[in-house]
Amino acid sequence: MAKNSPIRVALVNDYEVVVAGLFHMFVNYADQVEVVKLVAGKQVTSKVDIALYDSFAQSDNDAESVTKVVNNPLVSKTVIYTWNFNQALISKAKSVGVCGFLSKTLPAKELVEALIAVHQGKVVVSPAPTGSNPVGGTWPGREEGLSYREGEVIALITQGLSNAEIASAVYLSPNSVKSYIRSAYRKIGVTRRSQAVSWGMRHGFSPTTW
């Protein structure tokens, strides 16, 4: 790669609103990052330097989805983009070959700098976020007033997961999951799980799985 050539980055997620949000974060950094904008739910099909994997509402505790990206011969390095900095999750990601664990609270400039460091061969784990919502980027339900965690819980409910499965998937206690469900239900105006699933289906919470 020539000295001034931008890093080719693919944005990987099952939700179009997330992919679009990440894409727009890099608009002002085209000289440093060339974004391969993917349609949600699609695999990387052209050579990229980094796959930036947004972990929103990923329910696969065995990290199969991440492993698919890591093992894609067209992907040089894989980075997780998240605000869930559970140490077990970080260790699991590193064990399958992930080269970075970057916080959603990073401003675009710092995110770009972290990606450049990964591209140069470093393993980068950014400081864990202290707030409940990321700065920059977006998620399903944000426009309806849901916090990131509330949106993630509704997405997992829409996928058919039980409370215990949600707690395991996102490394939360069962009581925390129940609390997020209660607050999310109030915001979207539902009282039953079947109503939440129906609401999620209508509002873009059904991922395109690949």
Is CATH 1.10.260.30 correct for 7-125?
no
Burial 81-115 (b: 16+ CB within 10 A, else e): bbbbbeeebbeebeebebbbbbbbbbebeebbebb
Tokens 């989805």 appear where? Answer: 65
Q: For residue 196, what is the enclosing H or E element?
A: helix 193-202
**pLDDT given at position 1:** 43
**pLDDT given at position 178:** 96
**DSSP for residue 52:** E
**pLDDT given at position 114:** 96
**pLDDT given at position 154:** 94
**pLDDT given at position 147:** 87
Contact 151, 139 (CB under 8 A): yes
Question: Residue ranges per domain, the chain?
Answer: 7-125, 148-202
**pLDDT given at position 74:** 93
What is the architecture, at CATH level 2, of domain 148-202? Orthogonal Bundle (1.10)
Contact 204, 13 (CB under 8 A): no
Q: What is the mean pLDDT of each run of 10 residues along the chain (210 residues)?
A: 76 77 85 82 86 77 76 94 82 90 88 96 86 61 86 92 91 93 96 95 71
Report the C-alpha gap between 51 and 180 in whole angstroms: 30
Nearest to 155 by CA among 85, 88, 57: 57
Report the C-alpha gap between 145 and 48 in whole angstroms: 35
